[in-house]
Amino acid sequence: MEFDKEVDARGLNCPLPILRAKKMLAEMATGQVVRVLATDPGSVKDFQAFARQTGNELLRQGETVDNAFEFYLKRK
């Protein structure tokens, strides 16, 4: 999947992956996509809740790449 920006949050625990993604999304234009890599197992549920609460679209989630969970968020 194509993306515009990337956040590498591997090795960081909750809530840092969400906070890093939130900061990146704030700098992006509507419709742009950010790819987030995170190793925290709780990040799967965290990103689901984050998308619901913020209105940003979770395009894909939870697939593992290089021993990390991969998330694609589209800025609202």
CATH number at residue 22: 3.30.110.40
Neighbours of 37 (CB within 10 A): 20
Name the nearest CA neighbour of 5 among 30, 38, 47, 35: 35
The active-site residue out of 3, 5, 12, 14 is 14
pTM over 0.85, yes/no: yes
pLDDT digits (tens, 9 = 90+) for 1-59: 999 999 999 999 999 999 999 999 999 999 999 999 999 999 999 999 999 999 999 99
Question: Which structural domain range is residue 66 located in?
Answer: 5-74
Whether 18 is catalytic: no
Does 17 sit behind a cis peptide bond, omega within 30 degrees of 0 on the bond before it? no
